[in-house]
A and B are shown apart, each in its own frame.
Chain A
């Protein structure tokens, strides 16, 4: 079982939250090429190691946040709410 530390609600079972995958900076849709946009949409690093990812506290505070998780051990390092550093752009989450 994975306990995800929501910055507002504290540690919660992963099943209570929505997992939104790897966190990548979104390219500017006005200026980027279709290839850049599709790269953002589809291609993933998918490392076996530390990964910054997006979560949504769907049955709690309904906030989007990022956590840093080790994809092999399940260890968690930090949780970041949008607005705090390094900032989450509006379109970056669902």
Chain B
């Protein structure tokens, strides 16, 4: 019973939160509102899954938000200059992946802790985004064939929810069913034993941070498509919410470990809470306070793992 509570306590807390909001916030259960929550949660889940993969390999990626913004800006800049849609999307995602791999190289080759390395790369990405845009936002004028990726529907289901489902399925498959995924997790959980067992741990860290960059790139491009605009700060909020989703996820399903389903539950909780607080008329700063409390409570539940990764230097 205690074990079940430990594994599913956060899920139960989410259900309680959902019930309370359903009873107290007008229109919370409106299908349009619920879809809106899921759509917002989709971006958060995709970017947070990238953070999850980096953390699974034992590294922090604090650059996700600025890398996503830069990817968004890259794609938008190309689209506004009439480059083909596929090229612009691949360039945006490629930009995120390249920065993710750069994070990985800085961490594994220069042996700089990821806490510092990704913060530096985040600053670089932010600077590059302002360099490309000149500080202004790209708004409107985007081809509908591009907008359908973020705004479209398939059989009534918003495309964003499908992208989220696909990302969850793929990351879950990677971590649970493939040798590479297992090596990634072993690297994060026990780096030296993993290395001694023949796992190429530095390569796994590079992969984890590379995939984190890739998913930040995907998030950036989908944000551009969904909002039909882009700016250097378009994904800014996803650093703290992304981290909070992953940390909250580490309190459930596989307690103490970054895990895919946990991240999804964490993102759902944060998305639902933000929506509920808005419906209840709470100011945006109240949401920030709640987010901060969530992070502290989550970290206290999985502090050992986080201390291990936050200041570690790769072997």
Q: Do the two chains belong together in a single complex?
A: no
Using a CB–CB distance below 8 Å, which chain A residues touch chain B? Answer: none
Using a CB–CB distance below 8 Å, which chain B residues touch chain A? Answer: none
